[in-house]
Amino acid sequence: MRLTLVKPNIGRQGQSLYVDEGRMEPLQLGLLAGLTPGDVDVALVDDRCEPVPYDTPTDLVAITVETFTARRAYEISAEYRSRGVPVVLGGFHPTLLPEEAAHHADAVVVGAAEPVWQEVLRDAQAGSLQARYAGQAGVPQAGVLPRRDLFRGKGYLRIALVQAGRGCQHACRFCAVSAVASRTHTHRVVAEVVREIEAQDRRLVFFVDDNLIADRPFAKALFRALVPLRLRWVGQAPIDMVADRELMDLMVASGCLGNVIGFEALDPDTLKAMGKAPNLAAADGYEGAIKVLKAYGLQTWAAFTLGHDGDTPASLYRLLDFALHHKFTFAAFNVLMPYPGTPFYQDLQQQGRLLYDGAWWLHPDYRFNHAAFRPRRLSAEDLTAIAFDIRCRWNRFSAQVWRFLDPQTHLRTPYRMALYWLYNPLFRRETMKKQGMRFGYT
């Protein structure tokens, strides 16, 4: 049996195909390959950097689908199915909208793939694919290593993606992770995470967990086990982690360079309305928490969401001032997106505030980084324009130099200095290239 795994692109920029310079390994497809029996011939196709070989013989195609790539994923599926090749769709978007995905596939995997993937392959070999497979949450990739040999030669960033756990126990109203995971968190055995890291040759690791410290005892055990490996790593964690000094000490001792942290907003009422519990729980507020992060030398990728009901042009620009003042390593200023299946989406739908007929991810007129709903206190057009202006100001060369001059973080070691100047220009280019991109190729 021949299996083709596909990672879709987002779409086009004008008439040009978008090639993602900042692309990382498609870990979820490496995991599917690791779950696949050795007698199955597996090929990985990354639409972000190479053409999809529709006419190369294959017996089954599996496509991982995110909301931003849904339109392109459905195009790829249609091409394969027109050639008589069965297609399986899985990932976040089909889990949130299985009925929609079912119109574009022979089978849909809802939830975790690990419990059902062997069944999918057996059914495909027998020519009897079911319309839907439901994988219940459990221990992620138990006993399974992803096939990283499939990543070679595709120009991915030299950082290994590793999953230690899956899900998040918090209930942020705008978050698709909360909608998919239903406020649950599961994690692997520490020894298996260590074995996976030791089995690959990169010493810089990105833990893709939505909340790496969701289970504090597990996180501490993991960090203790990482200390002898002499890694450098980054992850995603909430701001209230700074209250646990044992956790912070272990994090740094294990090689942590910094974390993606969802600050989202500065106004407490806005944080309360979105259900951002960890931010409200930060004892000394953002200022005190940032002092702790800098004292530990941690570089921060701050994430903000723009377009909440209390937002005004002035409050949005205060986010930029805040990020510049603290000289964060990176910052993402994201227009708030109504992901299907989230309470935020449902609220907007009930209020009649969704644009693009609600399904913005499929609408031919929607463009990347544009507002897909009507904000309360400014227009959708103004929100889009202000968000892009903020990104442009954040990424100016003068701003990059200003942010770099922080002796507690970026100037702390030559390695951190190099990391800063390697990735900041790259992210600036990607920000400019993606703005206004159309979804899909057709």
**pLDDT band for position 171 (cuts 50, 70, 90):** confident
User: Which token pair is 160?
Assistant: 């290994």
Over the stretch 180-195, which tens digit does the pLDDT of each residue have? Answer: 766 788 999 999 999 9
Residue that terminates a domain, selected from 135, 157, 187: 135
164 contact partners, CB below 8 Å, separation of at least 6: 187, 188, 193, 207, 209, 212, 218, 222
Helical (H) or strand (E) element with 121:
helix 117-125
Over the stretch 114-129, which tens digit does the pLDDT of each residue have? Answer: 999 999 999 999 999 9
**pLDDT band for position 277 (cuts 50, 70, 90):** confident
Both 203 and 76 in a single domain? no
pLDDT of residue 19: 86
pLDDT of residue 253: 98
pLDDT of residue 112: 92
pLDDT of residue 63: 98
Please give the Cα distance from 308 to 175 (Å, whole number). Answer: 13
Both 86 and 165 in a single domain? no
User: Which token pair is 389?
Assistant: 């202006």
User: Which token pair is 316?
Assistant: 């949005």
Residue 229 within a domain:
yes
Q: Which domain holds residue 224?
A: 148-345+378-439
Residue 384 within a domain:
yes
**Token pair 């900041």: residue:** 424
Both 397 and 424 in a single domain? yes
Residue 214 within a domain:
yes
Residue 51 within a domain:
yes
**pLDDT band for position 177 (cuts 50, 70, 90):** confident
Both 69 and 172 in a single domain? no
Q: Residue 256 is part of a domain; what is its CATH number?
A: 3.20.20.70
Both 172 and 282 in a single domain? yes
**pLDDT band for position 138 (cuts 50, 70, 90):** confident
Please give the Cα distance from 140 to 176 (Å, whole number). Answer: 18
What single string gives the DSSP state of each residue in 260-272? EEEEE-S-HHHHH
Question: What's the angle, vertex CA 12, arms to CA 6 and CA 13, rounded to 5?
Answer: 145
Both 302 and 231 in a single domain? yes
pLDDT of residue 182: 66
pLDDT surpassing 70 at residue 283: no
pLDDT surpassing 90 at residue 327: yes
Other residues' Cβ atoms within 10 Å of the Cβ of residue 278: 20
Burial class (CB in 10 A: 0-12, 13-18, 19+), 401: exposed
pLDDT of residue 278: 80
Between 278 and 233, the more confident residue is 233
Q: What is the separation of C-alpha 338 from the centre of its chain, rounded to a whole number of angstroms? A: 16
Residue 295 within a domain:
yes
pLDDT of residue 77: 98
Both 77 and 160 in a single domain? no
Whether the Cβ atoms of residue 80 and residue 45 lie closer than 8 Å to each other = no
Residue 363 within a domain:
no
Q: Residue 100 is part of a domain; what is its CATH number?
A: 3.40.50.280
**The total number of structural domains that make up the chain:** 2
Whether the Cβ atoms of residue 289 and residue 239 lie closer than 8 Å to each other = yes
Please give the Cα distance from 226 to 90 (Å, whole number). Answer: 32
Both 187 and 319 in a single domain? yes
Nearest CA to 171 among 225, 201, 205, 214?
214
Residue that terminates a domain, selected from 107, 135, 163: 135
Residue 143 within a domain:
no
Whether the Cβ atoms of residue 82 and residue 54 lie closer than 8 Å to each other = no
Both 232 and 126 in a single domain? no
Both 88 and 122 in a single domain? yes
Nearest CA to 92 among 125, 70, 117, 75?
70
Backbone angle region of 97, left / alpha / beta, with phi > 0 → left and psi within -120 to 50 → alpha: beta
Residue 213 within a domain:
yes
Over the stretch 88-107, which tens digit does the pLDDT of each residue have? Answer: 999 999 999 999 999 999 99
> Using the 8-state DSSP alphabet, how is residue 243 labeled?
G
Query: Among the listed ranges 16-30, 276-290, 322-336, 390-404, which one has the minimum average pLDDT value?
Result: 276-290
Both 326 and 410 in a single domain? yes
Average pLDDT, the chain: 94
- What number of CA atoms fall less than 13 Å from residue 208's CA on the CB side? 13
Over the stretch 355-371, which tens digit does the pLDDT of each residue have? Answer: 999 999 999 999 999 99
Residue that terminates a domain, selected from 88, 104, 135: 135
Whether the Cβ atoms of residue 306 and residue 291 lie closer than 8 Å to each other = no
Average pLDDT score over residue span 5-11: 97
Nearest CA to 334 among 309, 307, 374, 359?
307
**Token pair 């219940």: residue:** 136
Both 277 and 417 in a single domain? yes
Average pLDDT score over residue span 201-216: 94
